[in-house]
Chain A
Amino acid sequence: MIELILQNPLIAALVALVGLALVFGAVLGFAAIKFRIEGDPIVQQIDELLPQTQCGQCGYPGCRPYAQAIANGDAINKCPPGGQSTINALATLLGVEAPSLDAEHGEENDVKTVAYIREDECIGCTKCIQACPVDAILGAAKMMHTVIASECTGCDLCVEPCPVDCIDMIPVPQGLSDWTWDMPPPAEEQIKAQRHPAEIIATDRGDKAA
């Protein structure tokens, strides 16, 4: 047998190739089962980047469906709550040019808002409760409703269904706990505005110069 193979290089080559094919096939088959990934990882990644307001402004019923749509080739500039930063992040993830926000779906709003129910006017119709995608409104039929501000994503889906228009979108008040320093303005603007750039003082520079 071995001699036969040795004498016929063609058979030897065939045996070697078939053997390799079998081995790699087995390895790949094993890997396909062992390292199987449930679901589409790219959808997961896109969903991670979306702001999860579940507002539906993109035309899809929630952030995950839009992530699915993007994975299937939809435009990435349909998310006003995420704004340009989300579009940029998506563009980086997907390796495409970052377009600007599609105005058709709404405008980016820098100020974060939460829904607020004017409780005196609420008639307890529960329509806003049904509209809320994140269960952030508490209440029962014919009872006053109220918004759990910390869970509200500011999607304003509850404003439309309210029959007495008692829901306002109010800006989230900025407290000490979420205050951050601003980035210093670019140098050109500093010169134009004639303002000093730094809150960091390093006052002794003057002395050093003197």
Chain B
Amino acid sequence: MRKVWDLIGGVHPPENKHQSVQLPIDVLPLPEKLVIPLNQHIGAPAKLLVANGDRVLKGQELAEPSGLVSVGVHAPTSGTISDISEYPIPHPSGMAARCITLIPDGKEQWIDHVGIDATYSFQDYSPAKLLEMIRHAGIAGLGGAGFPSAVKLSPRKTITTLIINGSECEPYITADDMLMRERAEAIVEGIQILSYILGGPEEVLIGIEDNKPEAHAALEPFVRDTHIQLVSFPTRYPSGGEKQLIQILTGREVPSGGLPADIGIVCQNVGTAFAVQKAIHFGEPLISRITTVTGRACSTNRNYEVLIGTPITHLLAHNGFDENNCSRLIMGGPMMGFTLTDLDIPVIKTTNCILAASWEEAPTPPPAQPCIRCGMCAEACPASLLPQQLFWYAQSHNHERLEAHNLFDCIECGACSYVCPSNIPLVQYYRASKGEIRKQAQEKIKSDRARARFEFQKARKEQEEMAKAAKREARKQAAEQAKTLSAGRGNKPQKNADMVKTAMARAAEHQASPAEQQARLERGIVRAESHLHTVEKRLETIRKEGTEQQQEQALAAVEDARRRLEDARSKRAQLNNTAGTSDTDKVMERLQASPRDTLEKKIASCKERIAVTRQKIVDSDDETLKAALTSGLEKQQAKLADAQQALAALPDNTPDTPVNQETTDAAANAIARAQARAAATRDLPAEEQLRQTVVALEGRIEKAKAKLDEARAGESEYVNALQAGLEKLQNKLLDAQQQLNTVTTQPSTVDDDTGDAASSAIARAQARVAELASMSEEDKLRETVASLKSRLEKARIKLREAEAERSEHVDSLRTAVEKLQVRLTEAEQQLAEYHP
């Protein structure tokens, strides 16, 4: 004997089951019409498959499942669809819903239906296939809630225990009891199918209350050799509740808000097991169910196998229903059922009982009295809740507290109402509160959506407005620009001149090096040649077939092209001649100047220097400096005297020929060499050019040094000039070397004019590093300060621009400026420290 646990709480109302078990299950004659609601289950209503006036066969699918949590409905008998419309359905609200009305033709003509083949057993099918069959057989839980069975039978967790609910704890109802007594074999087969679908749980239990010994005895022989266990436990309401039955049979509790599947348990009603067996074994969909018709207002109390959709009036008419004796007509049991207001409503898949209660059975309940806090409800509650607390909170609509007290764990069994000495309709409060909370939650979702949509719309409108404003602004600016442009063209020559100047400056900037210019000219020549070629060709064709006018045009075009080509060629020739001359012109001029002019110039400059030196002597306070200046002055005066003498000695009629023919020739030679070299290097790549420059410079420095030494030895007056020249040469060499470095390290950036700004910046930075490396510490610092200052200036300008434009980079620019300032002050400090 298996251990069973006690039900928490619970009540024991009079059973009143004996009235309806005296007679076996009967079948009623066909009613005049059947009304089949599309939604008899929990979930989405089924999707209609038939139209008004269609003839349907027994078992034909009238509507198919419209989603995962949905089941179809089938024709309970053959006949014609006479109406598809809103019709009152069995629901506590008494509302109407969409129903199919079927007029039976009495032929009971089945649709072709096949179950599993006689030679096979259900094990030859895959569980998925069987589940699909169950789904299409329209099976929803027959215990009362009507949850789609296929969904319940495909849990995500591994199932260890299958529980078959045969407890039927509510008073008056005997449908499951009679089913177990009469159809035990089919039920056991159905249970085996369910167990197979669930992957063979370790335990399969049938829970039956001990007030149904006949049902127990009927099932016993069929389960004897199987893994199914029959478990009997004490009768107590509401042991038939899913969670309560699990607690009784396994001692485990389903977590709050969870499902039995969470703890590896699936619970099915015996009626469902029977329906599954019918669907799998015979291929018959769910078109009928066992319903108890009982109550003292009916003369006959018994169970019927009723077709789904049979009107209640039809059932009652066959049981001697006395309307005058009936206080209330209840669908379901006396504890959890609801009062029917309309007798015309149909029996649906979840209708397990029609209770026509007499006035003695269901007297008008006395008015509710105040709660006396007796606590009997808390003792009776099978879900271990605090019904009186819930009652207070429900009265004050305190939804937060209600939820905190686990209102949603209430199974609405009515045990608390049953035991309440003040006759307070507690469950009605809970049901209403649950509804309110659900409604509010839905409204909250809706209002959140509305808020989101409203805010989105606001954002969208703002954006549109901004876009419009930006467009307007742009248009305004464009208009203003056009205005100023036209005004400037008309009467502002000054400005025009400025514009010309700037344009010229730009052009000068853009002026390319001789090499580039030449390349451009070459390209131009090639283009001109090809153009000439094409126009000549065209002229040919036109001569053959064109008109005179066309010929003339073509001829003109050819002339034009020729002229252009000539232009380009002459330009190239010009460039070749002029290349390199500009620098040498000055030298030639100086060399060819007359000696008189030279001497006069010398005298003038000497006089000027003397004047300056005298002034300096007067200004100076320092004795040593004065002495030095005086000596310098004396030298200058001597020079002046020399020059004046030489000028006097020069014969007046000396022709203005160069002083020294030899020197001039040498210089001219040098110029010729330089030009030749320039011509030679023009075609070389930049790197090569630079290298040559470096080599040449080195040679020149050598020479200059030698000359300097010589001059020093001879105490020549040119020592200073030579030294300055040497320094200049050294600087040039340094520059050239750096350029060469950059070219060799970053060849692409210098060779291609497409080199992007970033890489050229890198090149510059590298050049700077090289430069810095050759500098002294102090120079470096000075250099840093200078560069930082210029950078700071640039950054400030940029920042001002950004601020004017309200750019998004303003912040970053501002921080950059600040950083630069900090660095500048640091560098300046360092420099100051360096200077004693």
Residues of chain B contacted by A197 (CB below 8 angstroms): 365, 367-368, 423, 425, 428
B449 to chain A: which residues have CB within 8 Å? 151
A136 at the interface (CB under 8 A from B): yes
Per the 8 Å Cβ criterion, residues 431-467 of B in contact with A are 431-436, 438-439, 442-443, 446-451, 453-458
**Complex: how many Å from CA A114 to CA B700?**
97
Check A187/B454 contact, CB under 8 A, given A201-B337, A204-B13, A210-B360: no
Residues of A in contact (CB 8 Å), total: 42
Q: Is the CB of A184 within 8 A of B368?
A: yes
**Are B418 and A181 in contact, with the CB atoms below 8 A?**
no
Q: With contacts defined as CB atoms under 8 Å apart, how many contacts are there between chain A and chain B in the complex?
A: 148
Q: Which residues of B contact A196 (CB under 8 A)?
A: 364-365
- CB atoms of A134 and B454 under 8 A apart: yes
Q: Which of A62, A176, A179, A190 contacts B454 (CB 8 A)?
A: A62
Contact between B330 and A201 (Cβ–Cβ < 8 Å)? yes
**B335 in contact (CB, < 8 A):** yes
Which one of B89-97, B140-148, B182-190 contacts A? B89-97
Kindly report which residue of chain A lies nearest to residue B420, judged by CB atoms: A202
List residues of B (707-754) whose CB comes within 8 Å of A's CBs.
Answer: none
Q: Is B427 close to A, CB under 8 A?
A: yes
- Least CB distance from B836 to A in Å reads 38
Interface residue from A53, A136, A153, A181 paired with B92 (Cβ < 8 Å): A181
A135-B456, A180-B436 known; A191 vs B93 contact (CB < 8 Å): no
- Compute how far the CA of A136 lies from the CA of B452 in the bound complex, rounded to whole angstroms: 12
Residues of B within 8 A of A175 (CB): 95
Interchain CA distance A200-B431 in the complex, whole Å: 10
**Smallest beta-carbon distance B329→chain A, Å:** 11
Q: CB distance A200 to B450 under 8 Å?
A: no
Q: How far is the CB of A205 from chain B (nearest CB, A)?
A: 7
Using A52-B451, A54-B454, A134-B454 as known contacts, say yes or no to A207 and B428 having CB atoms under 8 A apart. no
- Contact assessment for B428 and A183 in the assembled complex, using a CB-CB cutoff below 8 Å: yes
Is B429's CB within 8 Å of the partner chain A?
Answer: yes
Complex interface: chain B residues within 8 A of A63 (CB): 451, 454
CB-defined contacts of A183 to chain B, threshold 8 Å: 394, 428-429, 432-433
What CA separation (Å) do A183 and B429 show in the bound complex?
6
Is the beta-carbon distance between A202 and B334 smaller than 8 angstroms? yes
| In the complex, chain B residues whose CB is within 8 Å of the CB of A156 | none
A68 → chain B closest CB, angstroms? 14
Q: Which of A179, A187, A210 contacts B368 (CB 8 A)?
A: A187
B369 close to A187 (CB less than 8 A): yes
CB-defined contacts of A97 to chain B, threshold 8 Å: none
Is A198 touching B425 in the complex (CB atoms < 8 A)?
Answer: yes
Whether A199 sits at the interface, judged by CB under 8 Å, is yes
Question: Are A202 and B435 closer than 8 Å at their CB atoms?
Answer: no
Is A201's CB under 8 angstroms from B339's CB? yes
Q: Measured between alpha carbons, how far is A180 from B432 in the docked complex, in Å?
A: 6
Given the interface pairs A176-B91, A176-B95, the reply to whether A206 lies near B360 with Cβ below 8 Å is yes
Determine which residue in A134, A187, A199, A200 has the highest number of CB atoms from chain B within 10 A of its CB, and name it. A200
**Which among B39, B97, B334, B451 is the interface contact of A47 at CB below 8 angstroms?**
B451
Q: Are B334 and A201 in contact (CB under 8 A)?
A: yes
**Nearest-Cβ distance from residue A40 to partner chain B, whole angstroms:** 16
Contacts of A133 in B (CB 8 A): 454, 457
A182 and B432 in contact (CB under 8 A), knowing A201-B328, A201-B330, A205-B418? Answer: yes
Interface centre among B92, B334, B337, B360 (most CB of A within 10 A): B334
Are A199 and B338 also in contact (CB < 8 A) when A52-B448, A151-B449 are? yes
CB of B414 within 8 A of CB of A191, answer no
- Against B, the Cβ 8 Å flags (1 = close, 0 = not) of A102-144 are 0000000000000000000000000000000111100000000
Q: Which residue of B lies closest to A63 (CB)?
A: B451
B171 at the interface (CB under 8 A from A): yes
Tell me whether A200 and B427 are in contact (CB under 8 A): yes
A47 to B448, CA, bound (A): 10
Q: Which residues of A contact B450 (CB under 8 A)?
A: 52-54, 134, 151, 153
Cβ contact of A199, chosen from B362, B428, B455, cutoff 8 A = B428
B428 touches A184 (CB 8 A): yes
Most buried by A among B368, B435, B436, B449: B368
Tell whether B361 is near chain A: CB-to-CB under 8 Å: yes
A178 within 8 A of B: yes
Q: Which residues of A from 148 to 171 have beta carbons under 8 Å from B?
A: 151, 153
Say yes or no for B363: interface residue by CB 8 A criterion.
yes
Residues of B within 8 A of A207 (CB): 13-14, 16, 360-361
Say yes or no: A134-B13 contact (C-beta < 8 A), given A183-B432, A197-B365: no
Please, how many angstroms separate the alpha-carbon atoms of A200 and B360 in the complex? 17
Distance, CA A62 to CA B452, complexed state (A): 12
Q: In the assembled complex, which residues on chain B have CB atoms less than 8 Å from the CB atom of A201?
A: 328, 330, 334-335, 337, 339, 362, 414
Shortest CB-to-CB span from B555 to chain A, Å, is 61
Taking the complex as formed, is B208 at the interface, i.e. its CB lies under 8 A from any CB of chain A?
no
B93: nearest residue on chain A (CB-CB)?
Answer: A179
Name the residue on B nearest A198 (C-beta): B425
Residues in B with CB closer than 8 Å to A206 are 360-363
Which residues in B have their C-beta under 8 angstroms from that of A51? 443, 447
A203 at the interface (CB under 8 A from B): yes
24 example contacts (A-B, Cβ-Cβ < 8 A) are as follows A47-B451, A62-B454, A135-B456, A151-B450, A151-B453, A176-B93, A176-B95, A176-B97, A180-B431, A180-B438, A183-B394, A187-B368, A197-B368, A197-B423, A199-B428, A200-B414, A201-B335, A202-B13, A202-B334, A203-B357, A204-B14, A204-B16, A206-B362, A207-B16
Query: Top 3 closest A-B pairs, CB basis?
Result: A180-B435, A198-B425, A52-B447
Beyond A202-B418, A203-B355, list 4 extra A-B contacts (CB 8 Å): A180-B435, A197-B368, A203-B328, A205-B365
Q: Give residues in B with beta carbon < 8 Å to A.
A: 13-14, 16, 39, 91-93, 95, 97, 171, 328, 330, 334-335, 337-339, 355, 357, 360-365, 367-370, 394, 414, 417-418, 423, 425-429, 431-436, 438-439, 442-443, 446-451, 453-458
